[in-house]
Structure 1
Amino acid sequence: MFLAAAVQMNATADPSANEDQVVPLIERAAAHGARFIATPEHTRMLAPMAEMVRLAEPLGGPTCRRFGALARRLGVVLLIGSINERGGDPDRCSNTSVLFGPDGAIAAVYRKIHLFDVDLSDTVRSRESDRVIPGSDPVVATTPLGRMGLSICYDLRFGNLYRRLVRDGAEVLCVPSAFTLTTGRAHWEVLLRARAIECQGFVIAPAQWGRHEDDSLRETFGHAMIVDPWGQVLATAADGPGLALAEIDLETVTRIRRAVPVNNHFRTDL
């Protein structure tokens, strides 16, 4: 059993200001006894996409070095929900989750597979694929606390990805996000609980909250949340920067999967 923390923050276009905001939240979670701490999508910065590409960093850059050192100092498993990662395309970056072990080393890297290309209204439009390179590989990371399935935000709508993560051994599903206010009000909790129920795993979902300088999201929903394998909401963050904290008991996963053996009944031929 371990205490987990889902961080809620309000990222800006300034990476230094965002680090100044999120590091105290991570430290506060560790002071509460959290051994697994997850931050939202766009932890490093949330800005117009051209700026995200211009200021992208490689995995070995200063941001990852600082957060790796923080994980080592606190002795925690730390998921940075996403950074804008520089790759080989000068016109696009990757939307990348980075998981650090308690030794500070990178334990896993996941690049967002499903990109947020939507046209909901005059104020909620996005073409993430114009500036972001889609990932291709599902990732389940083995940590000292358990097996973590990684995903990012819009991935949440694609249940087949989470089935794959469970098939690959995931016990905890991580969903760092920046859900818009419009979609969050309607779908955030419903989708998180659905993924927890159908996958029979814990869901840990850190979130962005409030108004941002980004040119497509404008306002995010917040409500960072932790859900148990039965679909019960264990913790939700209030408005503003803060934390959702809950105990994670992986024996619950084993018990529920044994009682209702969905994975044994899944029809791959349909």
Structure 2
Amino acid sequence: MKLALLQMTSGIDPARNAATLVDAVRSAKRDGASMLFTPEMSGLIDRDRERGGRLIVAEEADPVLAAVRAAAAAEQLWVHIGSLAIRREDGKFANRGFVIDHRGAIRARYDKLHLFDVDLPTGERWRESAAYTAGERTVVATTPVGRLGLSICYDLRFAGLYAALSGAGATVMAIPAAFTRPTGDAHWHVLLRARAIESGAFVVAAAQTGVHEDGRTTYGHSLVVDPWGDVLLDMGETPGLGYVDVGFARIADVRGRIPVIDHRRPIPPVEQAP
């Protein structure tokens, strides 16, 4: 089965970002993909919260979501939108991913659980929680590529989430991202490979890349990793579409050799030794 990943450099204009996404849907279908995966914040990246906030609207009014749904229906292609900035009913923002089916219907939604509040050695300071509200649910969706466990970017660092997803039947983990360059250089590949190995699952990580209009720089290197930890696709830093053929018999093969899911036990309380 062929998977398509869009690596993009999203900007501050949702209309331009939507056009990139629609073109990707058409190209992925033409090239025989079964499903397209896009990065975190596919519709808008803007660190100017006043300017960007004016463009964040409710889900039903979001022009990027509407454009992708229409394209998915026209091309009859499933799409995982890594995430969009969405205004919730309470007026707060959510970093929300969507699974769109071949008729353009929303099959699943996931709001990012872990928010990126960090101070990096480079001097970069990020406070995602200043604008966004964390999600409260874990989600597994049935798709043409199998049971898809949903997560977003910083979630990658929390292994317990992927244990819960694989325990609930996920065989593919979607980890769309907009990783910073310093954290990407240090941790991106090793964390993605670890999540695949410990879950006995494929990892599909579509990423933002390059220098964005708002001045930030993202790491790129959209990856697909198999359940043994082998990297099947690494897109480097160039925007565009990448493709990979995956054989899902690999999941049963790896889980049969090292049945980590079957061997999991409840973790007892930590004993505080003197």
Bin for the TM-score computed over the shorter chain:
over 0.9
Count of residue correspondences: 266
Q: Does structure 1 residue 85 correspond to structure 2 residue 83?
A: no
Q: How far did residue 212 of structure 1 move?
A: 1.6
Q: How far did residue 18 of structure 1 move?
A: 1.2
Q: For the structure 1 residues 89 and 50, does the alpha-carbon distance in structure 2 shift closer, same or farther, using more than 3 Å as the test?
A: farther
SS in structure 2 opposite 1:60? helix
Q: Does structure 1 residue 41 correspond to structure 2 residue 40?
A: yes
Higher alpha-carbon deviation: 10-19 or 25-34: 25-34
Partner of 1:146: 146
Superposed, 1:109-188 pairs within 5 Å as 109-121=109-121, 123-188=123-188
Higher alpha-carbon deviation: 53-62 or 257-266: 53-62
SS in structure 1 opposite 2:233? strand
Q: How far did residue 250 of structure 1 move?
A: 1.9
Judge conservation of contact 2:226–2:232 (CA < 8 Å) in 1. yes
Judge conservation of contact 1:5–1:36 (CA < 8 Å) in 2. yes
Judge conservation of contact 1:117–1:128 (CA < 8 Å) in 2. yes
Q: For the structure 1 residues 107 and 238, does the alpha-carbon distance in structure 2 shift closer, same or farther, using more than 3 Å as the test?
A: same
Judge conservation of contact 1:9–1:22 (CA < 8 Å) in 2. no
Q: Which amino acid aligns with 1:96?
A: R
Name the TM-score, length of structure 1 as normaliser: 0.94
Deviation by residue 1:164-216 (Cα, 9 ceiling, x = unmatched) = 0001110100011000001001111111111001101010000000112346x
Equivalent of 1:267, from 265, 268, 274? 265
The separation in 2 between residues aligned to 1:3 and 1:113, in whole angstroms, is 29
Partner of 2:222: 224
Partner of 1:25: 24
Higher alpha-carbon deviation: 108-117 or 51-60: 51-60
Partner of 2:246: 248
SS in structure 2 opposite 1:84? strand
The separation in 1 between residues aligned to 2:67 and 2:24, in whole angstroms, is 15
The separation in 2 between residues aligned to 1:161 and 1:13, in whole angstroms, is 31
The separation in 2 between residues aligned to 1:130 and 1:124, in whole angstroms, is 15
Superposed, 1:59-74 pairs within 5 Å as 59-61=59-61, 62-74=63-75
Judge conservation of contact 2:25–2:75 (CA < 8 Å) in 1. no
Q: For the structure 1 residues 98 and 6, does the alpha-carbon distance in structure 2 shift closer, same or farther, using more than 3 Å as the test?
A: same
Q: For the structure 1 residues 64 and 20, does the alpha-carbon distance in structure 2 shift closer, same or farther, using more than 3 Å as the test?
A: closer
Judge conservation of contact 2:11–2:45 (CA < 8 Å) in 1. yes
Judge conservation of contact 1:180–1:221 (CA < 8 Å) in 2. yes
Identity over the aligned pairs, expressed in percent?
42
RMSD: 1.5
Gaps of 5+ in 2: 269-274
The separation in 1 between residues aligned to 2:225 and 2:52, in whole angstroms, is 31
Deviation by residue 1:46-105 (Cα, 9 ceiling, x = unmatched) = 002333433112222232222111111122110111111111343x31000011011110
Q: How far did residue 246 of structure 1 move?
A: 1.1
SS in structure 2 opposite 1:142? strand
Q: Which has the larger radius of gyration?
A: 2
The separation in 2 between residues aligned to 1:205 and 1:145, in whole angstroms, is 14
Q: For the structure 1 residues 18 and 230, does the alpha-carbon distance in structure 2 shift closer, same or farther, using more than 3 Å as the test?
A: same
Q: For the structure 1 residues 15 and 9, does the alpha-carbon distance in structure 2 shift closer, same or farther, using more than 3 Å as the test?
A: same
